[in-house]
Amino acid sequence: MSASDPPDPGRVRAWLQDLQGRICAGLEAVDGQARFVPDREDRGEAGLSDPRVLEDGPVIERAAVNFTHSRGAGLPEAATQRHPQLAGLPFEAVSLSLIVHPRNPYAPTTHANFRCFVAGAPGEPAAWWVGGGFDLTPYYGFDEDTVAWHRAARAACTPSGPGVHADLKARCDAYFHLDHRNEQRGVGGIFFDDWTEGGWTASLGLLQRVGEAFWPAYRPILVARSAMPYGESQRRWQLIRRGRYVEFNLIQDRGTRYGLQSGRRIEAVLGSMPPAVAWAYQHQPTPGSPEAELLSRYLVPRDWLADGV
For position 2, what pLDDT does the model report? 59
Alpha carbon distance 241, 107 (integer Å): 13
CB distance 44 to 18 below 8 Å: no
For position 19, what pLDDT does the model report? 98
Alpha carbon distance 40, 47 (integer Å): 11
Residues designated catalytic? 111
Helix axes 200-226, 143-157, angle to 10 degrees: 160
Phi, psi angle pair for 238, to nearest 5°: -60, -45
Helix axes 9-31, 200-226, angle to 10 degrees: 10
For position 70, what pLDDT does the model report? 87
pTM: 0.91
CATH architecture of the domain 9-298 equals: 3-Layer(aba) Sandwich (3.40)
Alpha carbon distance 34, 53 (integer Å): 10
- Tell me the pLDDT of the chain (309 aa) as tens digits: 456 788 899 999 999 999 999 999 999 999 999 999 988 888 777 678 899 999 999 999 999 999 999 887 766 665 556 666 666 677 889 999 999 999 999 999 999 999 999 987 666 677 899 999 999 999 999 999 999 999 999 999 999 999 999 999 999 999 999 999 999 999 999 999 999 999 999 999 999 999 999 999 999 999 999 999 999 999 999 999 999 999 988 888 777 776 677 666 677 677 788 999 999 999 999 999 999 999 999 999 999 998 655
Domains of the chain: which residue ranges? Answer: 9-298
Beta bridge partners of 91: 72, 119
